[in-house]
Amino acid sequence: MSGNDGDLDAIRQQRMAELQARQQQTAAQDMAQEQALQQAEMQKQAILRQFLTDGARTRLNSVRMGKPEFASQVEQQIIALAQSGRLGDKISESQMKDLLKKLSPSSRKSFDIKRR
């Protein structure tokens, strides 16, 4: 019987070692993924700083407070324009207002009600 207990202990220790190795591997992958996300965010912020004036960045941050998804879409649009070389100069606050108006989905929907 003691031979079986020794075998069970060995199996348990082996299993525990495998689980610990998996947890360490998962933690390392999570850390690498987090670092990649932070790096991408830093690059995005650097591009936005390069192509937006202070007023335009302030306006975009104000939009982010109310509509974070919309602000992210606008950022992606600006980054795409910058990377394609279609932005020559910095975007001013007035240009940002125009861009936001163009990109914003129309909040008003028209309904035709017919009464009989």
Residue 81: inside a domain? yes
Residue 75: inside a domain? yes
pTM reported for the whole predicted model: 0.63
Q: Domain range spanning residue 63?
A: 2-102
Residue 72: inside a domain? yes
State pLDDT tens for residues 37-64.
Answer: 999 999 999 999 999 999 999 999 999 9
Gap between the Cα atoms of 22 and 41, Å rounded: 28
Write down the H helix ranges in 1-116. 2-51, 54-66, 68-84, 93-103
- Which structure tokens are listed for 9? 């202990």
Q: What is the CATH number of the domain that holds 34?
A: 1.10.8.140
- Which structure tokens are listed for 109? 């929907």
* C-alpha count within 13 angstroms, C-beta hemisphere, residue 61: 10
Total of domains in the chain: 1
State pLDDT tens for residues 72-107.
Answer: 999 999 999 888 888 878 889 999 999 888 888 765
Gap between the Cα atoms of 73 and 79, Å rounded: 10
